[in-house]
Amino acid sequence: MSAITTHVLDTSLGRPAAGVGVTLERREAGRWLELGRGRTDADGRCRDLLPEGTTLQKASYRLTFNSGGYFGSRGAAGFYPYVSIVFEVQEPSVHHHVPLLLSPFGYSTYRGS
């Protein structure tokens, strides 16, 4: 499992959001460097954004979710085409789980476990 994982729940349906495109980046020298990308599985989880054995660094990271593509594939309109979550890794040896609660017109996030 990746050192950074995510889980997307579609709160408008009350179930996991499958098929959401996710990109993981790290801030380096004033730019964002892509580290990995994937799609949420049937349970709304993305467990393999980083290659196995990748060590985290103390840095800012960004998860970007293609929420517009997800809602569009369901024939639903949405207000946010993308959701970006920027967070700080202060303890590189600790697993970081960043869930997203998503609806067509709002979202929320928190540090998970």
pLDDT band per the 50, 70, 90 thresholds, residue 106: very high
Rounded mean pLDDT, 84-103: 96
> What pLDDT digit, counting tens, does each position of 31-83 carry?
999 999 999 999 999 999 998 888 899 999 999 999 999 999 999 999 999 99
Pick the CATH number of 4-109 from 2.60.40.180, 3.40.190.10, 3.40.140.10, 2.60.40.1930: 2.60.40.180
**pTM of the predicted protein model:** 0.95
Contacts of 102-106 spanning 24+ positions with Cβ under 8 A: 102/8, 102/9, 102/10, 102/11, 102/17, 102/20, 102/65, 102/67, 102/70, 103/10, 103/11, 103/12, 104/12, 104/71, 104/76, 104/77, 104/78, 104/79, 105/78, 105/79, 105/80, 106/79
> What pLDDT digit, counting tens, does each position of 7-22 carry?
999 999 999 999 999 9
* Cα distance between residue 17 and residue 101, in whole Å: 9
